[in-house]
Structure 1
């Protein structure tokens, strides 16, 4: 089971934190001083719980009865649950995923920024790989987003030596009217990344084991 949920942050204007957050989450929320970060936290928890309510096999009770906590490396977890959760934010979206514990899944959504030279983070081989594309800066962000999703799938983020996340190859195909890029990793040949432009500034990426069927997931992410 892999169930995605994608919400636009600015469309979630009238949420009551007391009806969404557990006491543990509410304490974190009330101690966030930056307003946009506070809203991002609230919408992120809402996205996970909405996903659980709609797709979780054993969701019971109210949103505030579920507590999304942090693992040792700050990835989201629900303790004593058969469900794993994933979460990513961009300037526009909150992207949540729930999946069964027998899966390996990572997600990321990024906003392209002209003030951050992501190309500098690529290896020489990766730079050569995207040199023929019309927008190398865009593809540098696609690579970065897929690496973020890989780090989340491995539950360690980008904390390891950056070279282990290196991209081995990139191909493209059409899915539901959208160009989707399929990337393979040099050090993790059993995992595949799927990445596409959600709009002209937002990149959406998903990492799963090679033989996992992602058609329904991609359809939801592209069409929604």
Structure 2
């Protein structure tokens, strides 16, 4: 049952914030067989209403990633970190909302493709967002339509391959939209990036209109991945590199 979970310590001038991230790549059959070990009773009822396998798979990938990240996050301080006691519901803007049995100001961000689920759990006081997308050249022109002319001139700074660059840029914008809880309701032009840097295999960007945030992005397994977090927070990039599954391409091919 392929899954990677990593704890994160976010360093700030005034202290530290914990977080945890999980990436799941499992078949629908595996997840369905295991669903009673991680779905809340209300989630089980919600899942039962899905008629199509694609929707079932997306739901289970996201929920299992979310519960796995929560379990790691809560390991050292929560008396009850049983996955089935935690419920993930949708807010009024369809953003995921984490409900804990004992309450608490903890939230999450979820992303998924047809074969991968990804989730990050963090303190509500330290907002974060994530996204993952399959690199598909057929989608490049669709992505290009939401990229402004000034930003198109920066694509080569993200990656020399235009398809990889556009997909990374899409994940950056999606992750920021999740932090802001606007989703696709805000024009993506407002999420324009600047100050594009490379630290070996990780791309770091700032935002023109949201200078309080930055993005950390990378490529692995034929996918583009991004985390958006407060600009002044420092995160050990070695933790991100642990998420690069050497056999990820084989698992999801």
Contact 1:88 1:94 in 2 (8 A): yes
Matched, 1:3 2:20: yes
Contact 2:66 2:119 in 1 (8 A): yes
Alignment of 1:1-224 (within 5 A): 1-10=18-27, 13=30, 15-56=33-74, 57-58=77-78, 60=80, 62-79=82-99, 80-116=103-139, 117=141, 118-131=143-156, 133-174=159-200, 179-199=201-221, 201-215=222-236, 217-222=239-244
The separation in 2 between residues aligned to 1:150 and 1:194, in whole angstroms, is 11
Aligned length: 219
> Greater shift after overlay, 9-18 or 115-124?
9-18
The separation in 2 between residues aligned to 1:209 and 1:191, in whole angstroms, is 4
Shift in CA distance, 94/35, structure 1 to aligned 2, threshold 3 Å: same
Shift in CA distance, 131/154, structure 1 to aligned 2, threshold 3 Å: same
Shift in CA distance, 203/59, structure 1 to aligned 2, threshold 3 Å: farther
Q: CA RMSD in A?
A: 2.1
Structure 2: give runs of 5+ residues left out of the alignment.
Answer: 1-17, 247-253
Structure 1: give runs of 5+ residues left out of the alignment.
Answer: none
Shift in CA distance, 114/3, structure 1 to aligned 2, threshold 3 Å: same
Task: Give the ranges of 4+ consecutive aligned residues of structure 1 lying more than 6 Å apart after TM superposition.
Answer: none
